[in-house]
Amino acid sequence: MSTATHNAEALAQKLADSGLRSTPQREVVYEVLLKKRDHPTADEVFARVKSGLPTISLATVYNCLETLVQCDLVRAVNFERGPTRYCPNLRPHAHFHDEQTGKTHDIDLPSELLEKVSSVLPAGYDAKSVEIIFRGKATKAAH
């Protein structure tokens, strides 16, 4: 079975879990995110998706991205006012924002660190998620 087929089935499954349908648009949008993990904006996804599905509309791309976020297949990332970016990496990770290049890199986080971070919360604060963003420059490229 090809990777694409496998992803499509995993997607169909997750969508079904939420009572939603799998559609060509949703499949292609998801494939595009998995294929090039450079935190694209909705516009960039739109451009990439069009080569496989020329009649798709921008509104649909927004809809699909929103759906994927709801189904926990994709994370929406916002830092620095500007377009939302999308990330199919579901492992716990931080983002490193390179101020020179504007590129965003994923940084894996040991679960031990996440616990440590959450432990600074005073009583009465119940965090469902933690997001960590680094800003600076990357002197060498990473994966």
> Are the beta carbons of 40 and 85 closer than 8 angstroms?
yes
Residue 19 or 122 with smaller CB distance to DNA: 19
Query: Is residue 51 close enough to count as binding DNA by CB under 7 A?
Result: no
Residue 21 or 143 with smaller CB distance to a second copy: 143
Tokens of 15: 């969508």
* Interface positions, 86-115, toward a second copy (CB under 8 A): 94, 96, 99, 105, 107-110, 113
The burial of 5, by beta-carbon neighbours within 10 Å (0-12 exposed, 13-18 middle, 19 or more buried), is given as: exposed
> Are the beta carbons of 59 and 30 closer than 8 angstroms?
no
> Are the beta carbons of 26 and 55 closer than 8 angstroms?
no
Stretch that binds DNA, among 32-40, 57-65, 120-128, 131-139 (CB under 7 A): 57-65
Query: Is residue 142 close enough to count as binding DNA by CB under 7 A?
Result: no
Rounded distance between C-alpha atoms, residue 133 and residue 131, angstroms: 7
Query: Is residue 21 close enough to count as binding DNA by CB under 7 A?
Result: yes
Per CB under 7 A, residues contacting DNA are 15, 19-21, 23-26, 41-43, 53, 55-60, 62-64, 66-67, 81-84
